[in-house]
Structure 1
């Protein structure tokens, strides 16, 4: 029996559908491919996957002040941004060359990153499911900076066989969740590496902090690692621009070392301010509040 035949039928069918869609999308020029996948996610995938309902539920909790029209605009824009991001990941050098040539890095923490690189100091890059995470990785690695990232392999092994090579091509190293990946990640950080860590998903083992004035369980790991390894810690986000294709990569203010919960609350507050400015770019599909 081949490896493909050992995989669950549902996984194989879902992966085949994705590969077929991407194969057709690659026939389009980049400027049409990216919005086409955005439209597909917003109009076909989101209703079937239940994304629209979940976005509405989250907005009712976090932004009850929005009008119905404002809510519906976010409901359609969030999957569109997600589709564009997937298309960009699978566009390889067409995507990364655009980022590298534009050098989109900006923000008050940029000088701190340059100083950390010059001194060999480890860095924790606090990032979120906002804009396009891989625009951030591309922009930092384009400077020759040692940007690593922790990732969670997809449940669908058939999908992993092309997804992991796609994200690896953008920037390395990548560390899979699990004991071996964690050990390699810590060695990398201890040696002066830079590590991108997300902090904007619910974790039932984490303490309750505040996000949009709601109790939100928030991991302390980024802050704890920064303290343990005397690493610079700051938020970095790839912000999609109005043309839908280009980005600014904003490097925020460094977070002072303090109690881990205090540090992570500062990052939650920073992300909330950013999301309020760009409501359509945060992945409101996650079950952030439970």
Structure 2
């Protein structure tokens, strides 16, 4: 079934509502903004069946009989509220350097980062992924992040204006490779979210024991720039405080077989993401169709394997 196309009028209304929400959360105390975000997200959970349908289907795939239906439902509800928190906290993004350090979040694992060279900060839609780049920049890791464009160019302009804080640059997906390579060459870090189902440039992998398609972006960039891939996440504790955590660089295989290495190293990236999601399941975006099949990718992969090319 073809995806329904939203009319420009609806898109523009959605943009204006989003900007209004941003301004309201900017005025409110952080606790009030968080409460508003969670309540609006909860309303979406109740009113939009697709969220519940996709979320529970994903949790059934991932956990099978490991968890009860009630436990899976609780994870999904927490996941929805987490998205509301991310939206509500977006208005504080520009304050992470001046007010956030030690107050809204702590940092762990910076000793794993080699500051003498550039690298790749690989993360997922987990915890507050929007705070991750400015949080890293506030601790001396200048970075450039790959972002996906919105349907409305007004929204792109508004969101990019907030995301582009001190020492953080944005580049849109689809034209990002030259900018990322340049940044790494300048000893900066490329931020990539690698947990969603890609439409192109993917290899088959396993996530939570089930087949998925995994983006090859981080691995190809690492190979082209000879740079490390660091898993990183910004998860929240029960009191609402975040920890920006950096993990040791993923050990990348280099056997000389480029296709096999790309596949294996992409799997290692997905395995690293799975570790983070299993540690904080209620803070991951469960209502994205992560395990969807991709017929075009299957055909392309078969052709690649047949030719032995990357």
Larger deviation, residues 186-195 vs 212-221: 186-195
TM-fit CA distance, 1:46: 6.2
Check the 8 A contact 1:30/1:94 in 2, yes or no. Answer: no
Count of aligned pairs: 276
TM-fit CA distance, 1:227: 2.1
The 1:106/1:188 distance shift into structure 2, 3 A limit, reads same
Helix, strand or coil for the counterpart of 2:53? helix
TM-fit CA distance, 1:256: 1.5
Hey, what's the Cα distance between the residues in 2 that align with 1:243 and 1:97?
Answer: 21
State how 1:244-263 maps to structure 2 within 5 Å. 244=240, 246-258=241-253, 259-263=261-265
TM-fit CA distance, 1:44: 3.0
The 1:164/1:195 distance shift into structure 2, 3 A limit, reads same
Check the 8 A contact 1:99/1:138 in 2, yes or no. Answer: no
TM-fit CA distance, 1:185: 2.3
TM-fit CA distance, 1:248: 0.6
Counterpart of 2:158 in structure 1 is: 162
| Structure 1 position 221 matched with structure 2 position 217 | yes
Check the 8 A contact 2:212/2:291 in 1, yes or no. Answer: yes
Check the 8 A contact 1:209/1:215 in 2, yes or no. Answer: yes
Hey, what's the Cα distance between the residues in 2 that align with 1:145 and 1:8?
Answer: 38
The 1:170/1:75 distance shift into structure 2, 3 A limit, reads farther
Helix, strand or coil for the counterpart of 1:250? strand
Counterpart of 2:228 in structure 1 is: 232
Counterpart of 2:90 in structure 1 is: 89
State how 1:266-281 maps to structure 2 within 5 Å. 266-281=268-283
Helix, strand or coil for the counterpart of 2:192? strand
Hey, what's the Cα distance between the residues in 2 that align with 1:81 and 1:171?
Answer: 26
Hey, what's the Cα distance between the residues in 2 that align with 1:95 and 1:30?
Answer: 13
Q: What is the Cα-based RMSD across aligned positions, in Å?
A: 2.1
TM-fit CA distance, 1:124: 0.8
Check the 8 A contact 1:11/1:158 in 2, yes or no. Answer: no
Residue-by-residue CA offset, 1:266-288 (whole Å, 9 max, x unaligned): 22222212212211111111111
Check the 8 A contact 1:127/1:196 in 2, yes or no. Answer: yes
The 1:284/1:255 distance shift into structure 2, 3 A limit, reads same
TM-fit CA distance, 1:242: 0.9
Helix, strand or coil for the counterpart of 2:212? strand
TM-fit CA distance, 1:161: 2.9
Pick aligned residue for 2:289 from 267, 281, 287: 287
Hey, what's the Cα distance between the residues in 2 that align with 1:105 and 1:33?
Answer: 23
| Structure 1 position 201 matched with structure 2 position 203 | no
TM-score by length of 1: 0.87
Check the 8 A contact 2:112/2:246 in 1, yes or no. Answer: no
Counterpart of 1:192 in structure 2 is: 187
Hey, what's the Cα distance between the residues in 1 that align with 2:230 and 2:16?
Answer: 39
Check the 8 A contact 1:134/1:170 in 2, yes or no. Answer: no
TM-fit CA distance, 1:8: 2.0
Larger deviation, residues 46-55 vs 278-287: 46-55
